[in-house]
């Protein structure tokens, strides 16, 4: 065990171990829980109690826990003796018993008293009326699942008839119980095969252990039953098994049932085909099957052919995401996803005008065509296919090459259909057109897919019509706000790709398209709908982020009305819009900041003006979103060096933090601390102190001078007042952040060495202050507000006092204190037990009250 593991275990022991107090409380708790006269206890408490006992069994041998606390077995006996136990208590009992029986010796111990049989066996809970309650059945399944870690438990279940109960529970009306039962069978099958077989199983030599044999027979019987619900249960079980177990024996099992499963694909009557996609997908991910050649992949191919396009879609995406897969299966999977797109392209154009995406000999498009021409299925098939394609296109390492150009053409065509612009050339096209016009769902999916496609290279040829249709969407008054937002996102992604498109510059002047975009943006920024104004500003920000280095972009933007309108929106009545306007204006500054003086002088791009406006929002805006945006933009400006010379920056930061230190929103205050952090790092770097990784090593003498210099900057900028105030912040994250920054400052400024030089100075200048500060921080620190009277004697702008403070205050202890969770006192097991007693064990007092 490594040192940290040992430390971890020791800490866990400290935290969870059974203390003397707990040992005294537990019997009372057990007695109270088993007392039928007590009111029902809180389920959350029971969960916590179970969690604690689980932790306990992980730290100590379970048998010891049970022997040391006989109240636990007594609790089981008492609950069993109750004529009508409450469902929640019985469920808790079953889960606890299962938990304890997970250890083999404890299992034997409990069995000696016949407790497990009475709880889980046929003579016990199963025959009680309370079994009707789903929570009891769920507790039973969970209990059995917990104990299922050894052969005796397996045998107990299989020989005692318990396994039949689990088979029945697979079809339980409660979906939780049914699902848990299925998981339990998977677990039992795996345990049985892996613990009870000595020689590896093979198709020829296949001696399944008894329990596994029972489960497999059940699976086979269900599959052959012809009953859809039974078949579904078994297919679910198999799906889960092949998804979790990658052992070679799973193939042996598969060979027994493969024929039967295969038949489901061909028989139309069986209502279980939709389950097959998941099953085959899980199998294809298992090395046991994906490495085999032949039958399995043939089955997958057949599934891709026989399942409906809607059922086969998820399977096709899964297959195409696999790195190991035969090429012909991939082609088949691709056909499933591309066929609807192919039909769209064919429906939209004259037969010979465009060849389509797929060779017609590969697949028969009639099914997809009929789905697309029906009002009820067209939109959902397209949405689903587009979502699958988007998922694939978003994968960083896509193992297959998709026909990107044709895909782009098909997405554009769908968008044209939806906007009613496309004049279809075929009857199918007319039908599709009629269904899709104005269909927001399909528009959104197509725009998402389009945005994802922008990451791929090689679609340059269709780019003209792409920008045309996106502009139509941005321009059209009929575009809904959500579709507009997605259109903006797609447009921004594709615009970012403009420079690298070779064909574009020659055929389509970038300048023209940017002008069009800014023209429409101008209009959208004036929209009466705030969502539209907001997404327009977000779009502008994202454009600036990705294109600000390009001359054409900068010129088009600055020559449009957009910057002026954006600045107007700083006064928007909607706070979200103001926040987005702040971010956009902040990003605009990155462009205007680098403009030559002549371009800036006297016009709208005056940085001082912008800063003053943002500073004004920071101090006066009644909503927190715009203020958060301002402080975050200030930090970005600082990071990117847009705040001017060092002196200007110092003043800028100082002004900002003096505004935010009084802010009521903790996120704004955190934002202020982030600004301080960046400022500190930059200041330390500038003077060459070690916080900066690239700073050259300096001699001790120069280092001391540099330290002093930075310290003075920080004091002048009133950083320390803000940082120490923040330590006492009501909101813990603020305190934590401030503490982190102070720790960094202490490390960089090394006050210990400096303190030597100014020994005694602290006592003289701030003797009353520092201990007071320390005391305040230690005692009431995090509970009471920091007094603001000036007479407290702490001079936060005095470098020596601050150095003294940094050196004297135990920041590590503060850090630990701040990082403790707020409920660390209440979270102890003792507190939990007391809580339970307080809510449940009040009966004596009540009785006394009766007199």
Question: Which parts of this chain interact with another protein (CB under 8 A)?
Answer: 420, 422-424, 430, 433-434, 437-438, 476-479, 522-524, 526-530, 532, 561, 564-565, 568, 571-574
Of residues 567 and 674, the one with the C-beta less far from another protein: 567
Of residues 529 and 838, the one with the C-beta less far from another protein: 529
Residue 483 beta carbon to another protein: minimum distance, rounded to whole angstroms: 11
Start-to-end CA span in the chain (Å)? 61
Residue 553 beta carbon to another protein: minimum distance, rounded to whole angstroms: 22
Instruction: Round to whole Å and give the CA distance between 223 and 216.
Output: 11
For 199-230, b/e burial (b = at least 16 CB within 10 A) is eebeeeeeebbebbbbbbebbeebbeeeeeeb
Residue 419 beta carbon to another protein: minimum distance, rounded to whole angstroms: 10
Of residues 546 and 575, the one with the C-beta less far from another protein: 575
Instruction: Round to whole Å and give the CA distance between 200 and 565.
Output: 74
The CA-based diameter of the chain, rounded to the nearest angstrom, is 98
Residue 416 beta carbon to another protein: minimum distance, rounded to whole angstroms: 11
Residues present in the chain in total: 851
Instruction: Round to whole Å and give the CA distance between 423 and 410.
Output: 15
Q: 567: closest CA among 589, 547, 597?
A: 589
Of residues 38 and 566, the one with the C-beta less far from another protein: 566
Of residues 36 and 438, the one with the C-beta less far from another protein: 438
Residue 434 beta carbon to another protein: minimum distance, rounded to whole angstroms: 5
Non-local CB neighbours of 3 within 8 Å, separated by 6+ positions: none
Count CB neighbours of 500 within 10 A. Answer: 9
Residue 712 beta carbon to another protein: minimum distance, rounded to whole angstroms: 45
Residue 438 beta carbon to another protein: minimum distance, rounded to whole angstroms: 8
Residue 665 beta carbon to another protein: minimum distance, rounded to whole angstroms: 23
Of residues 110 and 585, the one with the C-beta less far from another protein: 585
Q: 676: closest CA among 626, 627, 726, 620?
A: 726
Residue 832 beta carbon to another protein: minimum distance, rounded to whole angstroms: 53
Alpha-carbon separation of residue 575 from 488, 580, 622, 631, 665 (angstroms): 21, 9, 9, 15, 15
Residue 566 beta carbon to another protein: minimum distance, rounded to whole angstroms: 12
Of residues 449 and 565, the one with the C-beta less far from another protein: 565
Residue 464 beta carbon to another protein: minimum distance, rounded to whole angstroms: 22
Residue 541 beta carbon to another protein: minimum distance, rounded to whole angstroms: 20
Residue 481 beta carbon to another protein: minimum distance, rounded to whole angstroms: 9
279 alpha-carbon distance from chain centroid: 26
Of residues 445 and 479, the one with the C-beta less far from another protein: 479
Q: Where are the beta strands (DSSP E) in 660-804?
A: none
Contact between residue 560 and residue 612 where contact means Cβ atoms under 8 Å apart: no
Alpha-carbon separation of residue 48 from 39, 125, 327, 541 (angstroms): 18, 24, 52, 47
Local structure of 351: helix, strand or coil: coil
Instruction: Round to whole Å and give the CA distance between 486 and 443.
Output: 9
605 alpha-carbon distance from chain centroid: 40
Local structure of 337: helix, strand or coil: helix
Of residues 27 and 440, the one with the C-beta less far from another protein: 440
Contact between residue 166 and residue 185 where contact means Cβ atoms under 8 Å apart: yes
Q: Tell which phi-psi region holds residue 696, choosing left (phi > 0), alpha (psi between -120 and 50) or beta.
A: beta
Of residues 266 and 529, the one with the C-beta less far from another protein: 529
Of residues 218 and 578, the one with the C-beta less far from another protein: 578
CB burial of residue 544 (10 Å; 0-12, 13-18, 19+): buried
Instruction: Round to whole Å and give the CA distance between 15 and 310.
Output: 52
Instruction: Round to whole Å and give the CA distance between 427 and 433.
Output: 10
In the block, residue with structure tokens 């769908």:
414
Of residues 83 and 573, the one with the C-beta less far from another protein: 573
Residue 395 beta carbon to another protein: minimum distance, rounded to whole angstroms: 36
Residue 666 beta carbon to another protein: minimum distance, rounded to whole angstroms: 29
Of residues 265 and 614, the one with the C-beta less far from another protein: 614
Number of continuous H segments (helices) and E segments (strands) in the chain: 48, 0
Q: DSSP string of 261-280?
A: HHHHHH-TT-TTHHHHHHHH
Of residues 49 and 565, the one with the C-beta less far from another protein: 565
Of residues 438 and 641, the one with the C-beta less far from another protein: 438
Instruction: Round to whole Å and give the CA distance between 768 and 173.
Output: 72
Of residues 241 and 347, the one with the C-beta less far from another protein: 347
Non-local CB neighbours of 395 within 8 Å, separated by 6+ positions: 321
Contact between residue 66 and residue 73 where contact means Cβ atoms under 8 Å apart: yes
Count CB neighbours of 84 within 10 A. Answer: 10
Residue 433 beta carbon to another protein: minimum distance, rounded to whole angstroms: 7
Instruction: Round to whole Å and give the CA distance between 460 and 503.
Output: 7
Of residues 483 and 806, the one with the C-beta less far from another protein: 483
Contact between residue 623 and residue 667 where contact means Cβ atoms under 8 Å apart: no
Q: DSSP string of 136-155?
A: HHHHHHHHHHHHTTSHHHHH
Q: DSSP string of 76-90?
A: HHHHHH-SS--HHHH
Check residue 407 and report its DSSP letter: H
Instruction: Round to whole Å and give the CA distance between 474 and 580.
Output: 19
Of residues 191 and 520, the one with the C-beta less far from another protein: 520
Residue 551 beta carbon to another protein: minimum distance, rounded to whole angstroms: 26
Residue 577 beta carbon to another protein: minimum distance, rounded to whole angstroms: 8
Contact between residue 563 and residue 610 where contact means Cβ atoms under 8 Å apart: no
């Amino acid at each position: 065990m490594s040192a940290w593991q040992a430390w971890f275990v020791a800490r866990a022991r400290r935290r969870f171990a059974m203390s003397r107090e707990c040992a005294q409380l537990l019997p009372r708790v057990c007695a109270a829980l088993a007392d039928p006269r007590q009111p029902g206890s809180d389920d959350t408490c029971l969960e916590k109690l179970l969690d604690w006992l689980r932790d306990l069994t992980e730290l100590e041998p379970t048998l010891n826990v049970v022997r040391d606390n006989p109240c636990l077995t007594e609790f089981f006996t008492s609950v069993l003796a109750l004529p009508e136990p409450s469902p929640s208590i019985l469920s808790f009992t079953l889960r606890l018993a299962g938990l304890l029986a997970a250890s083999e010796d404890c299992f034997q111990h409990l069995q000696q008293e016949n407790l497990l049989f009475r709880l889980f066996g046929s003579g016990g809970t199963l025959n009680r009326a309370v079994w009707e309650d789903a929570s009891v059945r769920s507790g039973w399944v969970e209990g059995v699942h917990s104990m299922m870690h050894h052969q005796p438990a397996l045998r107990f279940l299989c020989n005692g008839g318990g396994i039949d109960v689990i088979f029945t529970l697979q079809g339980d009306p409660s979906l939780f119980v049914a699902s848990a039962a299925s998981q339990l069978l998977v677990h039992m099958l795996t345990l049985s095969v892996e613990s009870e077989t000595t020689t590896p199983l093979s198709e020829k030599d296949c001696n399944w252990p008894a329990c596994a044999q029972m489960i497999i027979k059940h699976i086979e019987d269900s599959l052959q039953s012809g009953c859809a619900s039974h078949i579904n249960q078994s297919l679910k079980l198999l799906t889960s098994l092949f998804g979790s177990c990658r052992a070679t024996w799973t193939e042996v099992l598969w060979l027994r049932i493969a024929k039967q499963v295969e038949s489901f694909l061909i028989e139309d009557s069986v209502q279980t085909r939709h389950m097959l996609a998941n099953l085959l997908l899980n199998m294809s991910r298992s090395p046991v099957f994906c490495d085999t050649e032949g039958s399995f992949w043939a089955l997958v191919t057949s599934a891709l052919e026989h399942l409906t396009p809607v059922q086969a879609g998820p399977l096709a995406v899964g297959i195409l995401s696999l790195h190991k897969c035969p090429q012909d299966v991939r082609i088949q999977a691709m056909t499933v996803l591309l066929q609807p797109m192919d039909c769209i392209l064919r429906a939209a154009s004259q037969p010979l005008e465009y060849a389509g995406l797929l060779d017609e000999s590969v697949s028969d498009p009639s099914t997809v065509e009929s789905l697309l021409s029906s009002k009820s299925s067209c939109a959902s098939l397209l949405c689903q296919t587009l979502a699958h394609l988007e998922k694939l296109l978003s994968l960083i390492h896509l193992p297959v090459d998709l026909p990107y150009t044709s895909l782009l053409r098909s997405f554009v065509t769908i968008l044209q259909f939806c906007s009613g612009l496309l004049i279809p050339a075929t009857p199918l096209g007319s039908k599709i057109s009629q269904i899709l016009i104005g269909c927001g769902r399909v528009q959104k999916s197509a725009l998402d897919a389009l945005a994802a496609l922008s990451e791929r290279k090689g679609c340059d040829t269709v780019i003209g019509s792409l920008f045309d249709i996106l502009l139509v969407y941005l321009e059209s008054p009929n575009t809904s706000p959500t579709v507009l937002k997605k259109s903006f996102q797609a447009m921004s992604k594709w615009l970012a790709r403009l420079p690298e498109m070779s064909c574009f510059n020659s055929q389509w002047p970038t300048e023209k398209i940017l002008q069009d975009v800014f023209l429409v943006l101008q209009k959208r920024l004036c929209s009466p709908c705030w969502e539209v104004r907001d997404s327009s500003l977000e779009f502008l920000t994202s454009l600036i982020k990705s294109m600000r280095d390009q001359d054409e972009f900068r010129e088009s933007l600055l020559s449009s009305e957009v910057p002026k309108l954006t600045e107007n929106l700083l006064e928007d009545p909607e706070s979200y819009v103001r926040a987005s306007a702040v971010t956009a204006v902040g990003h605009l500054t990155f462009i205007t900041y680098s403009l030559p003086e002549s371009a800036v002088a006297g016009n709208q791009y005056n940085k001082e003006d912008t800063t003053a406006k943002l500073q004004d929002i920071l101090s006066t805006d009644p909503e927190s979103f715009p203020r958060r945006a301002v402080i975050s933009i200030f930090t970005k400006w600082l990071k990117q060096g847009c705040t001017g010379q060092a002196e200007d920056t110092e003043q800028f930061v100082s002004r900002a933090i003096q505004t935010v230190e009084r802010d009521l929103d903790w996120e704004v205050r955190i934002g202020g601390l982030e600004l301080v952090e960046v400022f500190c790092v930059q200041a330390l770097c500038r003077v060459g102190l070690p916080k900066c990784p690239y700073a050259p090593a300096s001699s001790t003498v120069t280092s001391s001078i540099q330290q002093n210099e930075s310290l003075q900057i920080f004091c002048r900028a009133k950083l320390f007042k803000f940082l120490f105030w923040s330590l006492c912040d009501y909101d813990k994250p603020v305190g934590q952040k401030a503490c982190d920054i102070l720790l960094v400052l202490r490390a960089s400024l090394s006050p210990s060495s400096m303190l030597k030089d100014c020994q005694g100075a602290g006592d003289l200048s701030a003797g009353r202050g520092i201990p007071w500060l320390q005391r305040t921080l230690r005692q009431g620190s995090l509970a009471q507000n920091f007094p603001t009277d000036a007479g407290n004697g702490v001079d936060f702008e005095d470098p020596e006092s601050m150095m003294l403070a940094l050196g004297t205050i135990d920041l590590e202890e503060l850090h630990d204190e701040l990082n403790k969770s707020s409920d660390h006192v209440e979270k102890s097991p003792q507190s939990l037990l007391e809580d339970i007693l307080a809510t449940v064990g009040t009966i004596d007092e009540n009785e006394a009250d009766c007199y």
